[in-house]
Amino acid sequence: MAYKSKLEEAVAAELKGLKVKANYEPSKLPYVLERNYIPDWVVPSSGIILEAKGKLDPDSRAKMKAVKKKHPHLDIRFIFSKANNKLNRNSKTTYGEWATKNGFKWCEVGSIPKKWFK
């Protein structure tokens, strides 16, 4: 069996030596971390939330998806420094593609659409 670390391998060996039957990673248990999201900007006249992102790392993506899930009525829009950046070096997906796929409007800094605010 493949374990994630040498420590897990050692624990498995010790449990086996003790003749303790234990199932390794038998299931997934969902959980929620309560956190607070602080928007970068809120446009008072429309309630639009503007989120400036230079880097869209995995934690930021997970956070924004969780915020959208918890508050689907919010209009959150991204302003990327470079929307064509890839999520990571092995990904074909760009920041802009990720935003679109997850239901967020987006643009790049320097080209914020005026129609967003009408």
Assign residue 34 the CATH number of its domain.
Answer: 3.40.91.30
CA distance 65 to 72: 10
Is residue 75 assigned to a domain?
Answer: yes
87 vs 45: CA distance, rounded Å: 33
**Domain assignment of residue 99, yes or no:** yes
Averaged pLDDT of the chain: 94
Closest CA to 117 of 42, 41, 46: 46
Q: Give the tens place of pLDDT for each residue, 56-95.
A: 999 999 999 999 999 999 999 999 999 999 999 999 999 9
Query: What's the whole-model pTM score?
Result: 0.76
- Let me know if residue 18 belongs to a domain: no
Q: Does some domain include residue 10? A: no
Asked if the structure places residue 85 within a domain, the reply is yes
Domain span at residue 53 reads: 30-117
Specify the number of domains making up the chain. Answer: 1
Specify if 83 maps to a domain.
yes
Residue 96 lies in a domain: yes
